A and B are shown apart, each in its own frame.
Chain A
Amino acid sequence: MDKQVHKFILQLADNELILGHRISEWCGHGPALEQDIALTNIALDHVGQARLFYQLAAEMEGNGKTEDDYPYKRLETSFYNVQLVEHENIDFGYTIVRSFFYDHFYYFLLDQLTKSKHTALANIAKSAIKEVKYHLRYSSEWMRRLGDGTEESHRRVQQAVHDLYPYTGEMFLPSTADEHMKEAYGIDCASIKEQWLTAVKEILHEATLELPDGSWFHKGGKEGVHTEKLGYILTELQYIQRAYPNMQW
């Protein structure tokens, strides 16, 4: 098994799982019934994509591993998602901004993956990108509505942009697994940065919003160093498996 490819797959899977977990927290609490349904739908897509990646990782590893071993039986230092996706749903604006930043990155990454020589990854990417196009449209439309809506919505969403932007740099900062993917398969997360900035800025402009000037970015998620929030997420996510180990559900 190629360990670096395996880790790259876990990076993808963990991003999808943790973001899906966060968005699923909205279920039953959305700002309107239609948004409740849409957010739940998006959470379902994210968790569904996480499953595809975990299944692939399990298949690569063999020895009886299943999709559930990764989300339920690893400790926080063995999760490789970027820190951005761990952030709480402070309000609907934070949820949208978090997705908006992530969806753009993920879209461009999947776009590269659809063309890669790694057939299994390319196949997942081809089906996943269809869902991500919808996520991207959803988060972008809400950026416009909130940014160019009322004074209050503008203020709130601008604050979220300001607070979450420092967590975006990590997406483009190659981990050792990313370096390997670049050499072996031409998948280059660093090269996405420019495309990402152009796309994000264009929509922010329409939304009358601005990126902060800062050039300082947090990092560590891809190497297993997270924010304090991940521990709480896993406490909830893994509760049953920890309390009742080795059972079928």
Chain B
Amino acid sequence: MDLFLQLTLAGLAIGSIYSCVALAVVMIYQATDHFNFAQGEMAMFSTYVAWTLVGLGAPVWLAFLLAVGISFLAGVVIERVIVKPVENAPVLNQIIVFIGLLVIFNAVAGWIWEFTIKPFPSLFPEDLGFKSTLIGPHHLGVIALTLGVLALVFAFFRFTRVGLAMRAAAANPDSARMVGVSVGWMLALGWGLAASIGAVGGILVAPIVYLEPNMMAGVLLYGFAGALLGGVSSPGGAVLGGLVVGVLENWVGQYVPGGSELKLTFALILIVGVLVFKPAGLFGRVVVRRV
């Protein structure tokens, strides 16, 4: 029973990181109808920025906050400079831009910081003042911090004027423009937010998977699986989907014979399964599009 609880809690912790990535992906998908394949690599890059700041002597929390802020600005700039010019280009061109971003971030990170793996410090102290055999301090901190961040993001969209305008711009850009919303800037803001949320995920996962330019490959795949499972049209669903995938991953690794080698395969099976049997995900709406 203890093992089961341990697995489940650790799964929730890693799942909440998938949730961050899933939410970032879904936010951009809702506004643009495209998956940002570079979301993971952007998060990886943000994590290196935090690592560099720590190396320069910044306390790890300060490095975290600065990296999240820098990621926001970088997200805005990427949208304005790279994504906006192709927004009316054919779909294939846009996908190639996203994949190009992925490759560039990966290569540049490898060039600056090399491909050797590096340890990354946890944001949370070893000693939380109490001991639990069920969950370690880093995992507990991850759950608390991600849930806090996600709650903030949802409150922002739900209760603020700009959050409402961002939802409106994503759902109905023409009408949004007609009420005076600057749709282009809302998109840029969305990219900034997504980059920040991704950075949170990257910095939290780095102490677990170690820092290296390919560290987000698996996380992004699980994040996609979570987003699809929850429904790409539903941010809340994506977050839940991420948590479910994290827990399932741990269960499969432990209880399915040979499961620990099959974890990534499991994510792929989940993605294909959802696409085939429930394309809208568990919480999404089926969108009928005129072609």
A and B associate in one complex: no
